Protein backbone atom coordinates (compact mmCIF):
# COMPACT_ATOMS: atom_id res chain seq x y z
CA UNK A 1 0.00 0.00 0.00
CA UNK A 2 2.89 2.35 0.86
CA UNK A 3 4.36 1.67 -2.58
CA UNK A 4 1.12 2.82 -4.27
CA UNK A 5 1.11 6.11 -2.27
CA UNK A 6 4.76 6.83 -3.17
CA UNK A 7 4.00 6.11 -6.81
CA UNK A 8 0.98 8.48 -6.71
CA UNK A 9 3.08 11.25 -5.07
CA UNK A 10 5.83 10.82 -7.66
CA UNK A 11 3.26 11.00 -10.47
CA UNK A 12 1.75 14.16 -8.95
CA UNK A 13 5.16 15.83 -8.77
CA UNK A 14 5.98 14.77 -12.30
CA UNK A 15 2.64 16.15 -13.54
CA UNK A 16 3.18 19.44 -11.69
CA UNK A 17 6.69 19.80 -13.14
CA UNK A 18 5.37 19.07 -16.64
CA UNK A 19 2.58 21.65 -16.26
CA UNK A 20 5.03 24.32 -15.07
CA UNK A 21 7.44 23.47 -17.88
CA UNK A 22 4.62 23.58 -20.45
CA UNK A 23 3.42 26.97 -19.11
CA UNK A 24 6.95 28.41 -19.26
CA UNK A 25 7.42 27.26 -22.86
CA UNK A 26 3.98 28.63 -23.82
CA UNK A 27 4.77 32.03 -22.30
CA UNK A 28 8.12 32.14 -24.11
CA UNK A 29 6.51 31.29 -27.46
CA UNK A 30 3.68 33.81 -27.03
CA UNK A 31 6.08 36.60 -26.10
CA UNK A 32 8.21 35.81 -29.19
CA UNK A 33 5.18 35.85 -31.50
CA UNK A 34 3.60 39.00 -30.05
CA UNK A 35 4.14 41.68 -32.71
CA UNK A 36 1.93 44.31 -31.08
CA UNK A 37 4.80 46.01 -29.32
CA UNK A 38 4.97 49.75 -28.83
CA UNK A 39 7.88 49.80 -31.27
CA UNK A 40 5.73 48.87 -34.27
CA UNK A 41 3.66 52.02 -33.84
CA UNK A 42 6.77 54.17 -33.45
CA UNK A 43 8.47 52.51 -36.44
CA UNK A 44 5.40 53.03 -38.63
CA UNK A 45 5.14 56.67 -37.52
CA UNK A 46 8.82 57.22 -38.28
CA UNK A 47 8.30 55.71 -41.75
CA UNK A 48 5.41 58.13 -42.35
CA UNK A 49 7.62 61.03 -41.21
CA UNK A 50 10.24 59.96 -43.76
CA UNK A 51 7.58 59.60 -46.46
CA UNK A 52 6.28 63.07 -45.56
CA UNK A 53 9.77 64.56 -45.82
CA UNK A 54 10.46 62.80 -49.13
CA UNK A 55 7.20 64.08 -50.62
CA UNK A 56 7.90 67.64 -49.43
CA UNK A 57 11.22 67.45 -51.31
CA UNK A 58 9.56 65.92 -54.39
CA UNK A 59 6.92 68.66 -54.42
CA UNK A 60 9.62 71.34 -54.18
CA UNK A 61 11.61 69.86 -57.08
CA UNK A 62 8.48 69.57 -59.17
CA UNK A 63 7.77 73.24 -58.42
CA UNK A 64 11.31 74.12 -59.56
CA UNK A 65 10.70 72.28 -62.83
CA UNK A 66 7.31 73.91 -63.45
CA UNK A 67 8.09 77.36 -62.05
CA UNK A 68 6.34 79.77 -61.72
CA UNK A 69 3.29 78.05 -60.29
CA UNK A 70 1.36 78.11 -57.05
CA UNK A 71 0.04 74.56 -57.31
CA UNK A 72 1.33 71.21 -58.56
CA UNK A 73 -0.11 67.71 -58.87
CA UNK A 74 1.81 65.27 -56.66
CA UNK A 75 1.44 61.66 -57.79
CA UNK A 76 1.62 58.91 -55.14
CA UNK A 77 2.80 55.38 -55.95
CA UNK A 78 2.62 52.11 -54.01
CA UNK A 79 5.57 49.76 -53.43
CA UNK A 80 4.96 48.06 -56.78
CA UNK A 81 5.27 51.38 -58.61
CA UNK A 82 1.57 51.71 -59.43
CA UNK A 83 -0.12 55.07 -59.12
CA UNK A 84 -2.48 55.09 -56.13
CA UNK A 85 -3.39 58.75 -55.76
CA UNK A 86 -2.92 62.28 -57.07
CA UNK A 87 -2.91 65.25 -54.74
CA UNK A 88 -3.10 68.88 -55.82
CA UNK A 89 -0.55 70.65 -53.64
CA UNK A 90 -0.69 74.36 -52.84
CA UNK A 91 2.81 75.87 -52.74
CA UNK A 92 4.33 78.99 -51.20
CA UNK A 93 6.16 81.51 -53.34
CA UNK A 94 9.34 79.66 -52.33
CA UNK A 95 7.96 76.35 -53.61
CA UNK A 96 7.17 74.55 -50.35
CA UNK A 97 3.84 72.84 -49.61
CA UNK A 98 1.55 75.08 -47.58
CA UNK A 99 -2.06 75.58 -46.51
CA UNK A 100 -4.02 77.84 -44.17
CA UNK A 101 -2.34 78.81 -40.91
CA UNK A 102 -4.42 76.49 -38.73
CA UNK A 103 -4.73 72.91 -37.54
CA UNK A 104 -7.04 72.25 -40.50
CA UNK A 105 -4.32 73.63 -42.77
CA UNK A 106 -1.80 71.24 -41.23
CA UNK A 107 -4.24 68.37 -41.84
CA UNK A 108 -4.48 69.44 -45.51
CA UNK A 109 -0.70 69.40 -45.84
CA UNK A 110 -0.70 65.85 -44.39
CA UNK A 111 -3.29 64.78 -46.97
CA UNK A 112 -1.21 66.39 -49.77
CA UNK A 113 1.99 64.65 -48.69
CA UNK A 114 0.83 61.29 -47.33
CA UNK A 115 -2.48 60.76 -49.17
CA UNK A 116 -3.61 58.47 -46.34
CA UNK A 117 -5.83 58.98 -43.28
CA UNK A 118 -4.17 60.49 -40.22
CA UNK A 119 -3.80 57.13 -38.46
CA UNK A 120 -0.85 54.98 -37.47
CA UNK A 121 -1.35 51.41 -36.34
CA UNK A 122 -4.93 52.29 -35.34
CA UNK A 123 -3.90 55.44 -33.44
CA UNK A 124 -4.94 58.93 -34.56
CA UNK A 125 -2.24 61.35 -35.67
CA UNK A 126 -2.93 64.84 -34.30
CA UNK A 127 -2.05 67.93 -36.34
CA UNK A 128 -1.18 71.02 -34.28
CA UNK A 129 -0.39 74.48 -35.61
CA UNK A 130 2.23 76.61 -33.86
CA UNK A 131 3.31 80.21 -34.35
CA UNK A 132 6.13 81.94 -32.51
CA UNK A 133 7.74 85.36 -32.80
CA UNK A 134 11.36 85.78 -31.85
CA UNK A 135 13.19 89.09 -32.36
CA UNK A 136 10.44 90.27 -34.70
CA UNK A 137 10.62 87.19 -36.91
CA UNK A 138 7.47 85.05 -36.99
CA UNK A 139 7.91 81.33 -37.48
CA UNK A 140 5.02 78.94 -37.92
CA UNK A 141 4.99 75.16 -38.20
CA UNK A 142 2.84 72.07 -38.13
CA UNK A 143 3.43 69.36 -35.57
CA UNK A 144 2.22 65.85 -36.34
CA UNK A 145 2.09 63.76 -33.18
CA UNK A 146 0.81 60.63 -31.55
CA UNK A 147 -0.77 60.82 -28.11
CA UNK A 148 2.15 58.67 -26.85
CA UNK A 149 4.51 61.60 -27.44
CA UNK A 150 6.27 60.88 -30.74
CA UNK A 151 6.11 63.76 -33.21
CA UNK A 152 7.69 65.50 -36.16
CA UNK A 153 7.50 69.15 -37.23
CA UNK A 154 7.08 70.67 -40.68
CA UNK A 155 8.08 74.27 -41.39
CA UNK A 156 6.21 75.49 -44.52
CA UNK A 157 8.43 78.53 -45.03
CA UNK A 158 11.60 76.43 -45.40
CA UNK A 159 10.28 72.94 -46.19
CA UNK A 160 12.24 71.57 -43.25
CA UNK A 161 10.98 68.42 -41.55
CA UNK A 162 12.40 67.78 -38.08
CA UNK A 163 11.87 64.36 -36.61
CA UNK A 164 11.71 64.23 -32.82
CA UNK A 165 10.81 60.58 -32.47
CA UNK A 166 12.18 58.82 -29.40
Pair 103, 21 in one domain: no
Residue-wise pLDDT tens digits, 72-120: 998 888 889 899 888 889 999 999 999 999 999 999 999 999 988 999 9
> Distance (Å, rounded) from C-alpha 122 to C-alpha 52?
19
HSE (side-chain half, CA atoms, 13 Å) at 80: 3
Pair 66, 139 in one domain: yes
Pair 129, 149 in one domain: yes
Q: Which long-range contacts (CB under 8 A, 24 or more apart) does 152-159 make?
A: 152/49, 152/52, 154/52, 154/56, 154/106, 154/109, 156/92, 156/96, 156/97, 156/98, 156/99, 156/109, 157/92, 157/94, 157/96, 158/94, 158/96, 159/56, 159/57, 159/60, 159/94, 159/95, 159/96, 159/97
36, pLDDT greater than 70: no
- The residue range of the domain holding 22 is 1-34
> Of the given ranges (23-27, 71-75, 141-145), which has the lowest mean pLDDT?
23-27
Pair 23, 87 in one domain: no
Pair 44, 69 in one domain: yes
Count: domains in the chain: 2
Could you tell me what percent of the chain has a pLDDT over 90? 51
Pair 18, 87 in one domain: no
Pair 75, 149 in one domain: yes
Pair 63, 98 in one domain: yes
Pair 49, 127 in one domain: yes
pLDDT of residue 132: 92
12, pLDDT greater than 80: no
What's the whole-number average pLDDT of the chain?
85
Could you tell me what percent of the chain has a pLDDT over 70? 82
**pLDDT band, very low/low/confident/very high, at 38 (cuts 50, 70, 90):** low
Q: How many CB atoms are located within 10 Å of the residue 141 CB?
A: 19
Amino acid sequence: MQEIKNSTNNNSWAAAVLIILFAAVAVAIISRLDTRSDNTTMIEFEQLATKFSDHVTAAHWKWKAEQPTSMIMLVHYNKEGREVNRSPVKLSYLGWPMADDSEEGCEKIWSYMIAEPMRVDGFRVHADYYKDTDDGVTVSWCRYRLSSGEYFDYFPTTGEVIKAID
